[in-house]
Amino acid sequence: METFINNPRTLSPLNGGGFPMEVSRPLDALNKARDKRVIVDLKNGKQYVGQLKAFDIHINVVLESAEELEDGKVKRKLGSVFLRGDTITVISPE
């Protein structure tokens, strides 16, 4: 049975069908959301919505056209914002 140990996109050994199984990593999900609108929930209960422009391994994120939400309604428009990763609880596509 062939294995794919050195390829981070597959699991080893091969799955039952004989084809490598894709591995989904958390940062892959963020990559798919890049340049799309996301909702970000913070530990302090605040919520922001904006276009995800950048992020790093600490889940620090940059949003453009960001708005702060309160009770699901826009409280204020902020433009570009940086949100520190250790304050974020959820990032969700809008």
Nearest to 70, CA basis, from 94, 87, 48, 44: 48
- Give pLDDT tens digits along the chain (94 positions): 344 344 444 444 444 555 454 557 888 889 999 999 999 999 999 999 999 999 999 999 999 999 999 998 999 999 999 999 999 999 999 8
Give domain limits for the chain.
Answer: 1-25, 34-93
Entry pTM: 0.73
Distance in angstroms (rounded) separating the CA atoms of residues 21 and 79: 40
Q: Which fold has domain 34-93?
A: SH3 type barrels. (2.30.30)
